[in-house]
Structure 1
């Protein structure tokens, strides 16, 4: 199918995709069809302005008559034959540059829209320091640039136009949502599993935006040779930074989830990290790590700022852990949740539509209850030792006799041999114990998560562990 025909069909099915409208306009312009190109650019709106560094021409003669003709031509055979990926990525990689004042296309990761007239380097709704909260107004200063790369992650498979648009939108939103404008932002690619995206410890770098500190101009670079049909630059250095960013985001996801569950239970945010990392039964988290130590204060400030914004009061911005763009929000915006699929014998940790981990489990067939629960209790060595029938870790489901725990019968994993509890292998249950806080939602059902195993080469583990045993209780879960 010709490139124009493909794009016309695409915008017919996705009329709100501004990037696709822009690419179709470039195709028409290359073919000398200026009127149709102008119409497409009008539909592209701020995407056109971003990449062309100019306002959209709006003569009335351009607007009249083109939409009907454009849609009628959707099903006609295109005379010219070009490959979509070659056009779209060649256009973007070679010469697509935008002015800093351009607004980004909409993206689900954007925390808030940039104020009218704001430059990309400015922080949206930027808060002044605490000492100046009562000071007078005035335009916020332009935020300085951050030299280290900032990251986001996107689904990367299937339709090239949709993937490209999502990547560009995510990267522009990432630049806009940070308190400091990063000079380099990169999108990592997650595989798709149905409606789910699969997180990994080895996500490839697929797109990048690089901003010149001299003139503020930013260019897009593709790093997938198959997508751009080119020889892209070596992303090795970016991958090294990404290798640090990925576990940082997992830690911040644990921290943010724990703070949310703590507030749900206590009615207030924790005042310190120690409020979350207390000995049993106050072990909301199983320990701490440097990312949590550095990230707690800034994350608490952001949460308080969110609370205060509802009343029109804002607190100070803050800086997250080393290696992250200052003010960058944690990637996992939704608390971690556990999903157990009794049909697939899989336990997954998810945030929104992202599968963070996926483990094989042993179940009890019809004895395993379906429904929604929460992790009400977390205990180490529930049998008083790490090799008992419940293994080295146990996590009780609400006020029931069911739990997620280890086992001294590893051959039962993947089978229905328990009395209803959820059995896990030793390494899996110990990682899960560190990954999900007390209060985590647990959903059990059939056909609700893909059957896959998703564990990293190096398991997630917290340090600085507190006492999480309970010598005062003998557990009688339905193993």
Structure 2
């Protein structure tokens, strides 16, 4: 709803209820239109004017769950501004309390006839030294790049050699490049972080320090990566790196969305794996064994609100591997209705691609949404919602599984988005509450993407809602 329509509703409300205040209208409006950010923004403004900081913060925070529209950005900015002001006020209160305490202790010292001692040694007030976390061992880095199908063998080798020599920023450890056939719709000579090659044209190991090719092997025709025994080590190295990247991306996205909604990072990663409705993640992933880490390092003190996403590289570093040349970005779900394709992306990186079923007769709403709730084993007659559900609008629209896998790829629902159960379980593992979801009717061909090995974080009973039977537009 635009501002003009909003003001017209306000005028009509006051004509009908002349004795009621603007605050009453804003409360009524947000009850009638909970997905409109403009109502929550003005409700927050009204509470802030009255000095009700907590009520204002609650209203602004609720706007973060609304759909993109008028005053969405303004409400988010007002929330952050008020949160910072409250923190400054809290800090000033603590300083005043500390000064008052020091003044009291000083008065006791000055007017006391003498110090009383019991002979017990005074304990050190220095905080115990925190041992630095053990860094992960540097792991073999593997890059997957696609090349044009028009290149001859000699030109292909020359182009790949130019790629490794010109790579910026430079790496210091030797790394491996897997050269694969062109992937339609994907960039050429660019690392495909989350692509699982089926065929390979060549493999090259390069030392960027000495600028020398350590080893290389080229195939006369595309070879099977799975069947080629000599590539077993490279295949395992790639799988481990992809697993680590997925873990770190999932955790950073959850931390970012947590900060967007609550204004601060959690005290520990474990706080992300709460019970419904605070289940940002089902559980916290553990690093691959080869990293020799008990858990992923977490340094919330390194967070900088002015560059929230960028600072997460320091808050939760990528252990054992170099940061991607093209930076990771917060996760985003995109649905291209014409191709019945749902994609999970991180900036320029395609993370996953799934076939989907959508609403018939245009009943799946286009627009900008966020994941509002995540439910494990959502109840519905005949298990129509499959094994997972992610609500993105009101109580009617969700991304969910299905008991009718044959419907995937068609337009048959009443508005919801259906995925295979295995796909929705993986999406549920990746995305947190607050993750953006964009639905578009723009033409977008189904990309022939090859997903890596499934990434599943087991969901538990604390994420179920056994007393709720959902009536989503399945």
- Cα 1:425–1:146 change in 2 (3 A) is closer
Q: 1: distance between equivalents of 2:443 and 2:354?
A: 14
Q: How many aligned residue pairs are there?
A: 321
Aligned to 1:405: 400
Is 2:245 the partner of 1:245? no
Q: Tell me if the contact between 1:286 and 1:437 (Cα under 8 Å) persists in the aligned partners.
A: no
Aligned to 1:379: 375
1:217 to 207, 210, 230: 210
Superposed CA RMSD in Å reads: 4.3
Q: 1: distance between equivalents of 2:355 and 2:136?
A: 45
Question: Offset at 1:163?
Answer: 5.9
Unaligned runs of 5+ in 2: 1-128, 222-228
Question: Offset at 1:334?
Answer: 1.1
The secondary structure found in structure 2 opposite 1:298 is coil
Is 2:259 the partner of 1:263? yes
Residues 260-306 of structure 1, C-alpha deviations (whole Å, 9 max, x = no match): 111111112222111111111111112232129959753646x9266
Is 2:446 the partner of 1:451? yes
Q: Tell me if the contact between 1:337 and 1:442 (Cα under 8 Å) persists in the aligned partners.
A: yes
Question: Offset at 1:345?
Answer: 1.0
Question: Offset at 1:165?
Answer: 4.5
Q: 1: distance between equivalents of 2:418 and 2:201?
A: 36
The secondary structure found in structure 2 opposite 1:151 is strand
The secondary structure found in structure 2 opposite 1:339 is strand
- Cα 1:458–1:154 change in 2 (3 A) is closer
Q: 2: distance between equivalents of 1:236 and 1:462?
A: 26
TM-score, normalised to structure 1, is 0.56
Question: Offset at 1:384?
Answer: 6.5
- Cα 1:305–1:415 change in 2 (3 A) is closer
Is 2:269 the partner of 1:276? no
Q: Tell me if the contact between 1:345 and 1:361 (Cα under 8 Å) persists in the aligned partners.
A: yes
Q: 2: distance between equivalents of 1:472 and 1:359?
A: 31
Aligned to 2:103: none
The secondary structure found in structure 2 opposite 1:173 is coil
Q: 1: distance between equivalents of 2:248 and 2:239?
A: 15
- Cα 1:308–1:273 change in 2 (3 A) is same
The secondary structure found in structure 2 opposite 1:279 is coil
Aligned to 1:151: 142
Q: How does 1:57-456 map to 2 (within 5 A)?
A: 148-157=139-148, 165-170=162-167, 172-173=168-169, 175=171, 181-184=172-175, 186=177, 191-195=182-186, 199-202=194-197, 208=204, 210-211=206-207, 217-220=210-213, 222-225=216-219, 235-291=231-287, 294=293, 298=297, 300=299, 304=302, 320-321=318-319, 324-325=320-321, 328=323, 333-365=328-360, 366-383=362-379, 388-399=383-394, 401-452=396-447, 454=449, 456=451
Question: Offset at 1:423?
Answer: 1.1
Q: 2: distance between equivalents of 1:256 and 1:329?
A: 14
Q: 2: distance between equivalents of 1:277 and 1:314?
A: 18
The secondary structure found in structure 2 opposite 1:395 is strand
- Cα 1:377–1:146 change in 2 (3 A) is closer
Unaligned runs of 5+ in 1: 1-129, 133-143, 176-180, 228-232
Q: Tell me if the contact between 1:193 and 1:450 (Cα under 8 Å) persists in the aligned partners.
A: no
| Structure with max Cα Rg | 2
Aligned to 1:136: none
Q: 2: distance between equivalents of 1:246 and 1:436?
A: 17
